[in-house]
Amino acid sequence: MEIQGRVVIVTGAGRGIGAALCHQFAAAGAHSVIVSDRDLAAAESVAQKIGTAATAIACDVSVESDVTSIVERVMAREQRIDIFCSNAGITVKGGLESSNADWQRMWDVNVMSRLYAARAVVPHMLQRGEGYLVQTASAAGLLTEIGSASYSVTKHADLAMAEWLSTQYGRQGIRVSCVCPLGVETDMLDDSDPIHRYLHLHAITADQAAVSILQGIQSERFLILPHPEVLEFFRLKGDDYDRWLRGMQRMRQKLSRDNAGKAA
Ligand SMILES: NC(=O)c1ccc[n+]([C@@H]2O[C@H](COP(=O)([O-])OP(=O)(O)OC[C@H]3O[C@@H](n4cnc5c(N)ncnc54)[C@H](O)[C@@H]3O)[C@@H](O)[C@H]2O)c1
């Protein structure tokens, strides 16, 4: 899909990848870029830097009425939404000990938000016979994230939702892309976490990620991989699941040994 003249909503756009995406959409000639975030001040500051093409709107993606309301507002103003980017996401460190409340929060922000967005926007897109849903999942959705069970599980679910949406609506003019980056230099990467320190070694900037995402949308590719090596890891997993799991177990052991060494 060409970006020129399009109406675009990006969630979680107050900083990081979402903010970079808004800048890229505006630079590519989008007619209207809705910078949305639960942090309205952050969204306003991004919109102000972009200029007249951008509007900031508060939206907590884990609250269905917020998502419905942003879609209704933009439909009333523009009569269409061409591209909806479900980008907002969070992470919580930890495995089995993570609290049920943390799991629920991860599920609501990383997964239910994608359902709420599709539920609100797909009927309008079907009516026009055209529309694009973009979901920022993670390489953790194709592979796994060693330090966080809830991130791995919810990002797999994010990818599963995108696959389902594409299967269900692909023949009715709805395009879907799922973005699966490794490390991106944003506030999400936390250097006190050994896996995040490892991700930093191969991290790209948010601007680089956004450029890659726009290219993926322009060529209407389902799987957008700002780090091309992720495809190689995904192939290895598909070729020999047990070998891939043994490799991941080795890496987990090495990272926890390195971390114990640093702590000692
Ligand atoms: N940074 C990475 O290394 C990396 C790698 C792979 C995937 N991702 C994914 O990319 C997406 C963007 O992450 P980022 O690195 O830019 O993170 P970030 O923490 O820099 O920015 C996330 C933004 O989302 C907003 N947000 C959080 N919860 C929200 C909610 N409930 N409703 C609306 N907005 C909310 C925050 O206010 C913030 O502005 C996420 O889905 C993340 O999982 C990030």
| HEC readout, 118-155 | HHHHHHHHHHHCCEEEEEECCHHHHCCCCCEHHHHHHH
**pLDDT above 70: residue 42:** yes
State how far the Cα of 14 lies from the Cα of 221, in Å rounded to an integer: 26
pLDDT (tens digit per residue) in 195-238: 888 788 889 999 999 999 999 999 999 999 999 999 999 999 99
Structure tokens at 242: 């047990």
The answer to whether position 124 is within a domain reads yes
pLDDT given for residue 73 in this prediction: 98
Q: Which residue segment(s) compose the domain that 51 sits in?
A: 7-229
Residue type, 28: A
Q: At 194, is the pLDDT very low, low, confident or very high (cuts 50, 70, 90)?
A: confident
Main-chain phi, psi angles of 262, to 5 degrees: -65, -40
Which CATH number do you get for residue 218?
A: 3.40.50.720
Residue 16 Cα to ligand 1 middle (Å): 7
Residue 9 Cα to ligand 1 middle (Å): 15
Domain count, the chain: 1
pLDDT (tens digit per residue) in 114-140: 999 999 999 999 999 999 999 999 999
The answer to whether position 244 is within a domain reads no
Q: At 50, is the pLDDT very low, low, confident or very high (cuts 50, 70, 90)?
A: very high
Helix (H) or strand (E) holding 174: strand 174-179
Helix (H) or strand (E) holding 83: strand 83-86
State how far the Cα of 167 lies from the Cα of 62, in Å rounded to an integer: 24
pTM (predicted TM-score): 0.97
The answer to whether position 180 is within a domain reads yes
**pLDDT above 60: residue 264:** no
The answer to whether position 201 is within a domain reads yes
The answer to whether position 113 is within a domain reads yes
**pLDDT above 80: residue 161:** yes
* Ligand 1 closest atom vs CA 151: 43
Q: At 262, is the pLDDT very low, low, confident or very high (cuts 50, 70, 90)?
A: low
Strand partners, 58: 37
Q: Rounded mean pLDDT of 36-43?
A: 98
Residue 230 Cα to ligand 1 middle (Å): 20
Reported as half-sphere exposure (CB side, CA atoms, 13 A), residue 145 has a value of 31
Residue 19 Cα to ligand 1 middle (Å): 10
Best substitution site from 37, 62, 188 to test ligand 1's pocket, by max atoms within 8 Å of Cβ? 188
Residues in contact with ligand 1 by the CB-under-6-Å rule are 11-12, 14-18, 37-39, 42, 59-62, 87-90, 109, 136, 138, 181, 183-184, 186-189, 199
* Closest C-alpha to ligand 1, atom 22: 12
* Closest C-alpha to ligand 1, atom 32: 60
Q: Which residue in 151, 169, 198, 241 is the catalytic one?
A: 151
**pLDDT above 70: residue 184:** yes
Residue 264 Cα to ligand 1 middle (Å): 32
The answer to whether position 28 is within a domain reads yes
* Closest C-alpha to ligand 1, atom 20: 16
CB-CB contact of 49 with 22 (8 Å): no
Q: At 259, is the pLDDT very low, low, confident or very high (cuts 50, 70, 90)?
A: confident
The answer to whether position 249 is within a domain reads no
pLDDT (tens digit per residue) in 85-115: 999 999 999 999 999 999 999 999 999 999 9
Whether 241 is catalytic is no
The answer to whether position 98 is within a domain reads yes
